[in-house]
Amino acid sequence: MKKYLRCLAAGALSAGMCLGSGLARAEDTIKIAFIAPFSGAFAANGDAWLKMLTFAMNNVNAKGGALGKKFELVTFDDKIQPAEALIQLKAATDQNLPIILGGIGSNVAAAMEEGVEKYNRRNPEHRALYLNLSALSMPLTEENCSFWHFRFASNVTQRVASLIKGLPKDITKVYLMNQDYLYGQGVESDTKKFLAKFRPDVKIVGDEFVPMGKIKDFSSYIPKIKESGAQALITSNWGPDFNLLMKSGNEGGLDIKYYTFSAHLNGGPTSMGPEGGNRTITVLEGHDNVGADNHIPTAEDFVKRWRDTKPGIDFVWTNFQTTFDMLAAAINKAGSTDPLKVALALEGMQTTDIYGHVNTMRKADHQIQMPLYTALFTKPVPNDSEGTGWGWKTESMVSAEDLTFPTACQMKRPDGT
Amino acid sequence: MEIVLNPLLNGFVYGMLLFMLASGLTLIFSMMGVLNFAHAGIYMIGAYVAFDMSRLIGFWAALIVAPLVCAAIGAGIEVWGLRRTHHNGHIAELLFTFGLFFIIERGVQMVWGMLPVPYRVPALLDFPLFRLYGVDFPAYRAFMLLIAGGMLLAIRLLLTRTRVGLIIQASLTHPQMVSSLGHNVPRVFTLVFAGGCYLAGLAGVIGGNYQVTEPAMAASLGPIVFVVVVFGGLGSLSGCFVSSIVIGMVQTFAVSIDGSLADLLGPIVAWIGTDNLAGEILSIPVSRVGPLLPYAMMVGILMFRPRGLMGTRDT
Amino acid sequence: MEAPALSLKNVRKNFGPVEIIRGVDLDIARGERHAIIGPNGAGKTTLFNLISGRFPISSGSIALNGTRIDQLPPQNISRLGLSRSFQITSIFHRMTVFENIRCALLWSSGYRYSFWSPLWTQKALNRQAEQLLDELNLASRRDLQAGLLSYAEQRALEIGITIAGGATVVLLDEPTAGMSHSETEYAQALIRRVTEGKTLLMVEHDMGVVFGLADRISVVVYGQVIASGKPEDIRNDRAVKEAYLGALTE
Amino acid sequence: MNEAAAKPPKRSRQLWLWAALILIGVAMPWVFYDWHTARQSGFVLTMMSQMGMMVIFSLSYNMLMGQSGLLSFGHAVLFGLGGYCTVHFLEAAGHHSFPVPLELIPLCAGLTGLGFGIVYGYIAATQRATAFAMITLGLGELTTTAGIMFHHFFGGEGGISTDRTNASSLFGLSYGASVQVYYLILAWTVLAALGMLFLTKTPLGAMANATRDNFERARFMGYDPRRVRFLQFALSGFFAGIGGGLYAITYEIVTYDAVSGALSANVVLMTYIGGATFFYGPILGAILITLLQSGLSLLSNAWLIYVGVLFIGMVTFAPSGLAGIIGAHGPLARAGRLGRLLVPYLRLSIPAFATLIGFSGAVELTSFLTIGEAQGKHLVLFGETIQVWTPQPWIVTAILLIGGGIWLRRECRAFARIWDDLNADLKDRSL
């Protein structure tokens, strides 16, 4: 009876239910804001990101956190809308959470970078620092680069370069298909650039833009692709635009390889299933079989502990761990969580990732320099993805040095730095 | 020939899927005057229920049961929801279904999660039926055509050969007349609404694995179905059929055209340059704007012919 | 010679294959009170719809004070000084009685689509509306929503809206339909009062009202005018009797 | 409009109410002022700014929905295009080629909104009712896609951004601090609201109501309903443009989200929930929905469900919205009988509260079963984790929901009786 009463009391407040770790918080933590979509069309990404971030954070906390304190994540829902993200930015700074993680959706990231830059200019006593986990578009670290923005993921150019470098020698005819917006257009122009540079033998037999999320049946593209004689399709399509494309391709008997950038993200393996097997190659920071393939004990242990939490998804954003490692190191180095000091400490910082590679946060544009993998969706693999029986197997690895490109960033630095 | 035949076939398949959704909507719209915003939501529920059921009792049983579930949901919506808002006018009814769509979309996310579910074509139908100019035509698409065609036939028979069908048909063109003839119009309304939802559910069952079953599937298909219904015209099933096929074809054909306005107006574009908005608009190839054509077609037809292609009344 | 207020020449209208109005010729002199009678389904209301521009005519011509109006949309006909009422009450249900009347006054007072003149400062307009409310005996209902009025009051408002704009030719479609005896008498007096000096064309079933008000009467049967003349002539017309008796025995 | 006919004594009381509301708006930033750190609450300021622009936006929407009976599903197009143009104005101001002070830039945004209103209105106003709704839906869809596709004007999905401090100021303000922007928005909100209130009292406003009620009759009075719709659409574009301009000034970035269907849908919700039949209804709706959007979404993942249910509830049971509910109490309040409702309301509130808790419990439990699980979160209350897989919380929720629901139904009937009696009594006395 008592239990029921307690439940009743609990129910009585369920209208005002709190997110996450609840009210009984230890006060002595370093709180980090995480602004991401938790409702709306991209809520699944917010959830998946949070899960991986929390795991990465717990790893750092287990090693003692920073300044003797543990980290703690506070989430804010931006609903994948820039305006809403800026409101939540204000909410975070109000709560004195100067370090802000984010990076789902290039539109939101662009708004956040600008917003933080202006906020810092106008509120020099209460600055904020924006750590971008996964928004890849180039302007963020090129023409719009900001001192207060750090990108902890490889950008579009680096991804395309590693894909082209990893392209097998026997592929000489490729077909390009990209979504008709900034990201897809960036991928397309970089693909052409790097093909000309690294693989002049490869011929582009088709170059297509599709409107984002509008095409329900890709079968009309299949004859075009087939006719072109392409051996591989390089596409930045993600979500339904990729899944429907591959579905139509398979149904139409199109026997080619799909070189992608997002097929590994949460939900990707599930929607591909066996249909994507042995034909989908993706560019990624890491996957759950890198450790087992190359016998890296730290990575194997990492994946084992990750899988023990029954996450349902692969830990593909291995850079999330790097983010927290660097952040903890920077806070320790700075001796405080003051955004300016932390930012200065982050510049040029080097840490070793779970695979043993050295990652560098470049000072010039605040873009992380790290190796990238390309992997094939295949079986059998030691650790399958999302319970499909299929999983990722490394095809190639391109080192950080090979992915270091000059930047056009002209950063406006704070006075005296 | 090969340029034409493949898109023709695929456009037809897509058009038939649209028709399955649109026919139910057009029945509801013509009779009750309600443009049911939740219709695509029901389609999504159909797909998800079919996914769950196909794992429990197999695809074929799901093909029977899932649409019935949707019909039951539809009847519930009509009896407990729409009927109560009826006296507040069509706008209120439309807004009711609009709000319902919000809830369905979020509810589906809550129950089935936010990621796509692996709802796949049954193994029995997972083979290429024939090859056409080197491109396979999957058996499942033929099956879809079969179901859609069968459904078309069934609706026709139902409407022309049964008493209920005759009443419905009369209600399509003269809704006030039928009620004044003393027929139990509320019951007919419920029946039509449930029937429309049944069709949407059926479309969900066979469309869910033809496309991807995910929470955004309704929001992305919904507007297109409206376009089909409005374009085809109120109170006309044949108009609905024609416009489904037309829009299915337009969407699939447009992507195979690479030309742009700039090709036609070469010198003018050279003069404007491509580095401004006007030049940008002109130099976009047709294949990229293809999916927008239906909306432009809808706006156009509503401006000049509000009753749509073959409609009997103004929208 | 002065052109007739309203002149119909061989007006025809068909809906699909069915011809509803089959060549109507009708001249109505200025200042005349003219009633149209005839059995149900004879096409009286359709005739009104054709004159007021609600439906386009199939052939023939209609002229208002000598000006062709048969190709014009209703608003343009209204601006030329022809106004009509409806058989099924057609008022603005969610607006107050006062606002209903004021709206009807707007165009003729020259406000057009003005969005810069605040209505509360338009003294002359408001006074005119109040006056009309008094005339209609609706002053006590001034701020009530029109949809909440009683039936007879709504009919009075309907007439008020129709004549408010100062039209010279007024078409009334069964103004007393569904009224009790006393209400009908009141309405008849009201119509007589407010249409003073105007040309009136009305469709009416109540023969008391018709013979009480009309200077001339036309009888429409099966889309044709079978007789037209002074009340006493019509009373004695054989064709009319036949038509009516025929209609009754059907 | 009902209140157009408001009796003089009530009008002065209303005036006080509005003055008080504006005063609250002025005072609000200082209520949440943090004296320890000497900072404004940025969250509250931004939320209040958002409310301001949403008030303008939904009022402008109501020029179509409530006043003209036109249901638009693409109103955000006018709002967002005003915003895009404002960004371009501010950029031009940065290059000293646009010498307009920031205080007046919303006016320029309004004029561009008017321009787009004229273009879109010319197309959309050809039809009414459902056809109008579908045209606006199509136009909205076309514009949103254009916003993603074309870079020169819209900047693609990254949008275009600017710096509001580019522009000069009439009062020598920098507009760096959000509080200055907030007061600018407040001033424009009041101005725009007064402007739209004024419009309802003009011949066009009256004829908009008339065409809403009975467009055919309006034609026989000399008015072309299409022209009325067109003018009303264009003018509402003017005010939506002002809202969009303020949006651009506040966030300094405009992306395709500002023209998207989501925002168009949002304004429908705001206006309807607030009450489309009253002028002030959309103000209530905009404030409430913004609160829910920014506040409730911090508390619950499933906040959209609550908004959806609230909306459906309104459509079904209170079609004149919050303003309608408040308005219905007007006669009783004037007669001084409001006290009689206190006890019935208290009786109603208990089962209503129980049902509410049962409902939100069911929603939250389901949501934690799937989504919460996906986030690796736990439902925590009073420092205790609720096990969503155990039956107890579900049983409690079910009892609250079903029991509360049945009880609520009974109380509702009782309440309706009392309400009817009171009103009938009132009517008897007045006659």
Q: Where do the structural domains in chain C lie, given as residue ranges? A: 6-249
**C-beta of residue D56 within 8 angstroms of C-beta of residue D189:** yes
The CA distance from B166 to B154, in Å, is 14
Tokens of D198: 């004024």
Q: What is the mean pLDDT of chain C?
A: 88
Chains interfacing with C (3 or more CB pairs < 8 Å): D
Nearest CA-CA distance, residue A192 and chain D, Å: 20
User: What is the share, in percent, of chain D residues with pLDDT greater than 90?
Assistant: 38
Burial of A68 (0-12, 13-18, 19+ CB in 10 A): exposed
Nearest CA-CA distance, residue A200 and chain B, Å: 26
The CA distance from D279 to A374, in Å, is 60
Chains interfacing with B (3 or more CB pairs < 8 Å): A, D
The domain locations on chain A are 27-154+297-369, 157-284+372-402
> Measured between CB atoms, which of C92, C111, C112 is closest to D214?
C92
pLDDT band at residue A24 using 50, 70 and 90 as cut-offs: very low
For D251, name the nearest residue in chain A, comparing CA atoms only.
Answer: A83
Q: What is the mean pLDDT of residues D243-263?
A: 90
Does chain A touch chain C (at least 3 C-beta pairs within 8 Å)? no
Predicted pLDDT at A18: 36
Residue C249, pLDDT above cutoff 70 = no
Angle between helices B139-161 and B163-173 (to 10 degrees): 90
pLDDT band at residue D235 using 50, 70 and 90 as cut-offs: very high
Q: What is the mean pLDDT of residues B125-131?
A: 81
Q: Strands C82-84 and A372-378: what pairing?
A: unpaired
Does residue A209 sit at the D interface (CB-CB below 8 Å)? no
Q: What is the mean pLDDT of residues A107-125?
A: 88
Predicted pLDDT at D220: 92
The CA distance from B95 to D311, in Å, is 9
Q: What is the mean pLDDT of residues C216-242?
A: 85
Predicted pLDDT at C125: 92
On chain B, the residues whose CB falls within 8 A of the CB of A244 are 211-212
Using alpha carbons, select from D421, D415, D424, D406 the residue that is nearest to residue D325: D415
Q: What is the mean pLDDT of chain B?
A: 82
Contact B95 D311 (CB under 8 A): yes
pLDDT tens track for C118-155: 998 989 999 999 999 998 888 898 998 998 898 888 99
The domain locations on chain B are 2-217
The CA distance from A213 to C62, in Å, is 56
Predicted pLDDT at C9: 92
Predicted pLDDT at A22: 36
Q: What is the mean pLDDT of residues C210-231?
A: 88
> Measured between CB atoms, which of A14, A48, A50 is closest to D381?
A14
Interface predicted TM-score (ipTM): 0.84
D-facing residues of A in 135-194 (CB < 8 A) are 137, 139, 180-183, 185
Residue C250, pLDDT above cutoff 70 = no
Higher pLDDT, A265 or D302: A265
Among A1-10, A332-341, D38-47, D329-338, the range scoring the smallest mean pLDDT is A1-10
For D177, name the nearest residue in chain A, comparing CA atoms only.
Answer: A122
Predicted pLDDT at B274: 61
Predicted pLDDT at D378: 57
pTM over 0.90? The answer is no
CATH class of the domain at A157-284+372-402: alpha beta
For A224, name the nearest residue in chain B, comparing CA atoms only.
Answer: B256
Q: What is the mean pLDDT of chain D?
A: 85
Q: Strands A372-378 and A280-284: what pairing?
A: antiparallel
Residue B6, pLDDT above cutoff 60 = yes
Instruction: Mutation target for D interface from B52, B100, B110, B225: give the one with most D CBs within 10 A.
Output: B110
> Measured between CB atoms, which of C79, C98, C142 is closest to D222?
C79
Please report how many Cα atoms fall inside a 13 Å half-sphere around the Cα of residue D71, on the Cβ side. 18
Predicted pLDDT at D8: 42
Predicted pLDDT at B175: 62
Contact A90 D379 (CB under 8 A): no
Higher pLDDT, A238 or B45: B45
Residue B272, pLDDT above cutoff 50 = yes
Does residue A23 sit at the D interface (CB-CB below 8 Å)? yes
Residue D382, pLDDT above cutoff 70 = no
Higher pLDDT, B86 or C149: C149
Tokens of B198: 């049944």
3-state secondary structure of D253: strand
Tokens of A364: 């010039």
Contact D305 B111 (CB under 8 A): no
pLDDT band at residue D196 using 50, 70 and 90 as cut-offs: very high
Burial of B132 (0-12, 13-18, 19+ CB in 10 A): middle
Does residue A16 sit at the D interface (CB-CB below 8 Å)? yes
The CA distance from D69 to B208, in Å, is 37
Predicted pLDDT at B180: 65
Predicted pLDDT at A405: 92
Helix (H) or strand (E) holding D381: strand D379-381
Q: What is the mean pLDDT of residues D319-337?
A: 84
Residue D77, pLDDT above cutoff 60 = yes
Q: What is the mean pLDDT of residues A33-47?
A: 85
pLDDT tens track for A282-307: 999 999 999 888 889 999 999 999 99
Tokens of A248: 């139509």
Predicted pLDDT at D187: 95
User: What is the share, in percent, of chain A residues with pLDDT greater than 90?
Assistant: 52
Q: What is the mean pLDDT of residues D16-36?
A: 85
Higher pLDDT, B276 or D199: D199
The CA distance from A187 to A161, in Å, is 10
Q: What is the mean pLDDT of chain A?
A: 86
Tokens of B230: 């409005």
On chain D, the residues whose CB falls within 8 A of the CB of B88 are 315, 319
Q: Which CATH number fits domain C6-249: 3.30.70.380, 3.40.50.720, 3.40.470.10, 3.40.50.300?
A: 3.40.50.300
pLDDT band at residue A3 using 50, 70 and 90 as cut-offs: very low
**C-beta of residue B290 within 8 angstroms of C-beta of residue B254:** yes
Residue D298, pLDDT above cutoff 90 = no
On chain A, the residues whose CB falls within 8 A of the CB of B2 are 223
Predicted pLDDT at A9: 43
Residue B181, pLDDT above cutoff 80 = no
Predicted pLDDT at D6: 39
Q: What is the mean pLDDT of residues C161-182?
A: 88
Chains interfacing with D (3 or more CB pairs < 8 Å): A, B, C
Nearest CA-CA distance, residue B274 and chain A, Å: 16
Spell out the residues 6+ positions from residue D278 whose beta carbon is closer than 8 angstroms to its own.
D1, D2, D3, D66, D320, D321, D323, D324, D327
Residue B174, pLDDT above cutoff 80 = no
On chain A, the residues whose CB falls within 8 A of the CB of B253 are 220
Contact B13 A221 (CB under 8 A): no
Residue B265, pLDDT above cutoff 70 = no
Using alpha carbons, select from D403, D300, C48 the residue that is nearest to residue A8: D403
At CA A310, angle to CA A308 and CA A316, rounded to 5? 90
| Domain A27-154+297-369 homologous superfamily, CATH | Response regulator (3.40.50.2300)
Predicted pLDDT at A4: 47
Please report how many Cα atoms fall inside a 13 Å half-sphere around the Cα of residue B121, on the Cβ side. 22
Residue type, A256: I
Residue A7, pLDDT above cutoff 60 = no
For chain D, which domains are there?
Answer: 3-319 (1.10.3470), 330-430 (no CATH)
3-state secondary structure of D175: coil
The CA distance from C225 to D383, in Å, is 90
HEC string of chain B equals: CHHHHHHHHHHHHHHHHHHHHHHHHHHHHHHHCCCCCCHHHHHHHHHHHHHHHHHHCCHHHHHHHHHHHHHHHHHHHHHHHHHHHHHHCHHHHHHHHHHHHHHHHHHHHHHHCCCCECCCCCHHHCCEEEEECCEEEEHHHHHHHHHHHHHHHHHHHHHHHCHHHHHHHHHHHCHHHHHHCCCCHHHHHHHHHHHHHHHHHHHHHHHHCCCCECCCHHHHHHHHHHHHHHHHCECCHHHHHHHHHHHHHHHHHHCCCCCEHHHHCHHHHHHHCCCCHHHHHHCCEHHHHHHHHHHHHHHHHHHHCCCCCCCCECC
Residue B200, pLDDT above cutoff 80 = yes
Residue B159, pLDDT above cutoff 90 = no
pLDDT tens track for A138-173: 889 988 899 999 999 999 999 999 999 999 999 999
Predicted pLDDT at D377: 57
Q: What is the mean pLDDT of residues A104-110?
A: 86
On chain C, the residues whose CB falls within 8 A of the CB of D221 are 75, 78, 83, 103-104, 106-107, 161, 165
- Peptide bond preceding A380: is omega within 30 degrees of 0, i.e. cis? yes
At CA B279, angle to CA B276 and CA B285, rounded to 5? 130
Instruction: Mutation target for D interface from C90, C95, C114: give the one with most D CBs within 10 A.
Output: C95
Instruction: Mutation target for A interface from B8, B114, B225, B293: give the one with most A CBs within 10 A.
Output: B114
